[in-house]
Amino acid sequence: MLSFAAASGLPAPRLVGQISAPSPMLAMTALPGRTIPPRHLTAAHLDCAARVARRLHQVPIPQEQRATLPRYAPHYITGTLPIRAPDWSHRPEIWRRAIELYFRWPEDLGQGGIAPRLVHRDFHFGNLLFEGEALCGIVDWVTSCIGDPQADIGHMRWNLVHDLGFDAAERFTALYCEDSATAPYHRKWDLYALVGALPDLPPPPVETRSRLEAFLAETLNVLEGAAPWRNQG
């Protein structure tokens, strides 16, 4: 995946080596820049992230190589780790509803009829390097794959809701979708991203928990109001 990114001029590191055990790791060349703490993010940072996401998702994947590349699937969809309503939740019923929809993934098929694109798989500001307000690096490619590029947008959105709130997530999405060639964002990717993160999510502070659960409830209302929900968008 890094070779595709680098060949397309994205600010990605060069692969030096790979370790598969005890857990997957990639050794890569260093890049300039630093991550920006959420409280210091500006509208310019959001704009840079949206523009580089569009570039990433336009990287061509040769037809003859697609069958050999890893495909996107939501985290833990095969049951390798149980996904349950969190003990810290004051609204466990919305998590149970969301988890039920989450495991309809095999019915949904994920692709929506589009050609698979490059997906970073962990696209959020903790993996973006900046010098001032200029984005100069994308790191942590270990779980990159091919699939629907909106998986990356969903991952960024739930992280923004967690760190800053729904307005920041909407701002990023609007910037990403400014390009007329970009498909309208589908809210199912909010569900796949947030529920998939649940087993690894430490108990959040009360304010953050409230934001996440309000975000999830609103996502469910959108998806469950569609007929069928997976065709919303």
Residue type, 110: G
Q: What is the pTM of this model?
A: 0.90
- Indicate if the pLDDT at residue 216 is higher than 80: yes
What are the boundaries of each domain within the chain?
2-231
Per residue in 145-202, pLDDT (tens digit) is 999 999 999 999 999 999 999 999 999 999 999 986 788 999 999 999 999 999 999 9
CA distances from 96 to 83, 190, 197 (A): 9, 15, 15
**pLDDT for position 98:** 96
CATH number listed for the domain at residues 2-231: 3.90.1200.10
E strand intervals along 87-227 = 117-119, 128-131, 134-138, 145-147
Phi-psi bin for 26: left (phi > 0), alpha (psi -120 to 50), beta? beta
- Determine the number of helices (DSSP H) and then strands (DSSP E) in the chain: 8, 6
Q: What is the pLDDT of residues 112-152, one digit of tens each?
A: 557 889 999 999 999 999 999 999 999 999 899 999 999 99
Q: How far is CA 85 from CA 35, 200, 223, in A?
A: 31, 13, 19
3-state secondary structure of 221: helix
Cis bond leading into 22, ω under 30°? yes
pLDDT tens digits, 77-108: 887 788 999 999 999 999 999 999 999 875 55
Q: Backbone phi, then psi, for 223, in 5-degree steps?
A: -70, -45
Decide if 36 contacts 159 (C-beta within 8 A): no
| Cis peptide preceding 32, ω within 30 of 0 | no
